[in-house]
Structure 1
Amino acid sequence: MTPDETDPARPRVPTGWRRLAARAPILLFRVGLGPLLGRRFLLLHHVGRVSGNDRRAVLEVVAYEAPYRCWTVASGFGPRSHWYRNLRAQPKTVVQFGNRHHAVTAHFLTPDEGAGIMADYGREHPRTARRLCAYLGLPADGTESALRVAGRTIPFVRLEADTHPPSAPRRP
């Protein structure tokens, strides 16, 4: 076991009925009702690093860059989350945003980049940011400095579409 898996400061990954409740949004995507979740959630398809089986996780979108089809998500349970570890092993995957599927490549952000993203997220969603920090056992007063500390602690992943829309020029 790595230190991240036994960190007492991190909340435990849900099990039992809490896990079922947390995974319920996957059913909405599977039956074509993903748009009901708005632009705040996406369905991540990933491959199990041990089993090789297709896995799914619904994640909150922390930042979205529409012209480049680029989504930033956070691993609230740290680097021990299965989806995070699976993306580390195989970063090319597919996301479903609304009812559309996009081939993406995962890019793992630095703690300093995460600090900036979390500060921006806290300005846009102050109540949710405070609750998230409290749940994760991080400073939860909502100040920018506390959000930056949280952002350095939480691993962030940028999911970039492999192809760009025809109207946007390709980046060199």
Structure 2
Amino acid sequence: MPERQAVTPQPDAPHRPHPPTGWRRTVARLPVHLYRLGLGPLFGKRMLLLIHTGRTSGRARNVVIEVVAYDAQQHTWTVASGFGPKAQWYRNLRHTPQATIQVGRCFHAVTAHFLSEEEGGRVMAVYAPKHPRAARLLCSYMGFETNGSADSYRAAGGHIPFVRLEESMPAGRGPARDTERAERSDG
């Protein structure tokens, strides 16, 4: 009779936080209203307003997201989904990757590219030393334990959904300006 091999149980999937509801949702949505009031520059380059298309409604949706990495030469912004792959904005970009972002007062037409686990790990390993408190909070919030080492952040980053937003028309010319006018006319 063959011997039975011990099977090491796989750890449960990390805790994925639920989006806020009630008054917490109102507070979480406050940055969107600040952008609408023209106060986007208050957030500098650390935050952006993502204007994307709802996958079911087809209507414009807005969310403010922290920028994890910005590459001025490539005209790309990398963001993370703190609520995992089930976040509405993330699912909407999966369906329609073309979107518009507002950074400060500038609008940019972008296309979403979803990073692999390996790329996500590299992004997190670079982000963590620059913003240690924010990296610890993100990992903790999503249920990942880290010991502060680059390897632990790389491992956690492999499980966090990262999206790279590439500018469609570098230097903010062309369609991005048309989108800006359209967004302003829609309110």
TM-score higher than 0.5 here?
yes
Aligned ranges 1:157-172 → 2 under 5 Å: 157-165=163-171
Aligned residue type for 1:84: Y
1:59 corresponds to 2:65: yes
Out of 105, 114, 118, the residue aligned to residue 99 of structure 1 is 105
Q: Tell whether 2:85 aligns with 1:85.
A: no
1:141 shift after superposition? 2.5
- The residue number in structure 2 matching 1:39 is 45
User: What is the percent sequence identity of the aligned residues?
Assistant: 55
Structure 1 residue ranges, 4+ long, deviating more than 4 angstroms after superposition:
none
Deviations 1:12-67 (A, max 9, x none): 11111111111100011111110101110000001110011110000000000112
Distance 1:86 1:70, change over 3 A: same
Deviations 1:144-163 (A, max 9, x none): 12211210110100000001
- Output the CA distance in 2 between the equivalents of 1:165 and 1:132: 31
Partners of 2:74 and 2:126 in 1: how far apart? 19
**Which residue of 2 is the match for residue 70 of structure 1?**
76
TM-score by structure 2 length?
0.82
Q: Which residue of 1 aligns with 2:8?
A: none
Tell me how far apart the structure 1 counterparts of residues 84 and 155 of structure 2 sit (CA, whole Å): 14
More displaced stretch, 133-142 vs 96-105: 133-142
Structure 2 counterpart of 1:137, one-letter code = G
Which residue identity lines up with residue 122 of structure 1 in the other structure?
A
Partner secondary structure for residue 106 of structure 1:
strand
- Whether 1:129 and 2:135 are equivalent positions in the alignment is yes
| Conservation of the 8 A alpha-carbon contact between 1:11 and 1:136 | yes
The answer to which of 37-46 and 143-152 deviates more is 143-152
Uncovered stretches (5+) of structure 2, i.e. residues with no partner: 1-12, 173-187
**8 Å contact kept, 1:114–1:154:** yes
Question: Could you say what secondary structure the match of 1:39 adopts?
Answer: coil
Distance across 2 between alignment mates of 1:102 and 1:69: 9
RMSD: 1.4
The equivalent of 1:148 in structure 2 is: 154
TM-score normalised to the size of structure 1? 0.89
The alpha-carbon deviation at position 8 of structure 1 amounts to 7.0
SS in 1 for 2:23: helix
